[in-house]
A and B are shown apart, each in its own frame.
Chain A
Amino acid sequence: RKEVEQDPGPFNVPEGATVAFNCTYSNSASQSFFWYRQDCRKEPKLLMSVYSSGNEDGRFTAQLNRASQYISLLIRDSKLSDSATYLCVVNSDAGNMLTFGGGTRLMVKP
């Protein structure tokens, strides 16, 4: 079983739609959680950190459920520029090694 699992998609949605991605992680000792965005053939870039209380950044809302070991990302009012792969990322060790999920591909259509 992979340490961080995501639905690979693709999710094809029209502009303006709301879309949600989910992710599960297997290590209950995991400490820090993130969503990264990766455009085609580019490096991953931090989208947002994820906190137990939930957090919002504009159109993006992230939630963490430690009991279920589940992380979510909600994108409201999707834009064409949101088309990318979204990587769920977990930090489980005392250092700063990041464990990535396989990514979920989002395609926003006009």
Chain B
Amino acid sequence: ETGVTQSPTHLIKTRGQQVTLRCSSQSGHNTVSWYQQALGQGPQFIFQYYREEENGRGNFPPRFSGLQFPNYSSELNVNALELDDSALYLCASSFYRSPYGYTFGSGTRLTVV
């Protein structure tokens, strides 16, 4: 069974740039969720994708967008990066409408300078 993999592991970007983070879901899972974890805080829900459509969104501005592909992998795109976007971005895969069996990837650490 393949777990959740994320790439890249670390990234440094300049304020105003755009970034794309990638996630491949665990085998058998059909839903991907993205979370942002700032230093010293718990993860915050960004959005979730199921059947290649956004299926719920947290309190994040539209410059945070995503995609899900037919193989259930996903991308998170952030435009016009701000310093406060510096965080660990976590991808989690699961079965649709089930909070059980969530599997997190090891995350992408984004630093905006």
Q: Which residues of A contact B (CB under 8 A)?
A: 4, 8, 31-32, 34, 41-46, 49, 87, 91, 93-103
Contact = CB atoms under 8 A, between A and B. Distances in A.
A32 B107 contact: no
A6 to B, nearest CB: 8
Given A96-B33, A103-B42, A32 B102 contact: no
Contacts of B95: 96
B78 to A, nearest CB: 19
B56 A43 contact: no
Nearest to A31: B99
Contacts of A95: 48, 55-56, 96-97
Given A42-B106, A43-B104, A45-B104, A96 B98 contact: yes
Contact of B56 (A41, A44, A93, A102): A93
B73 to A, nearest CB: 17
Contact of A99 (B31, B45, B107): B45
Question: Which of B42, B58, B106 has the largest number of chain A CB atoms within 10 A?
Answer: B42
B98 A44 contact: no
B91 to A, nearest CB: 9
Contact of B106 (A43, A49, A87, A94): A43
B87 to A, nearest CB: 12
Contacts of B88: 41
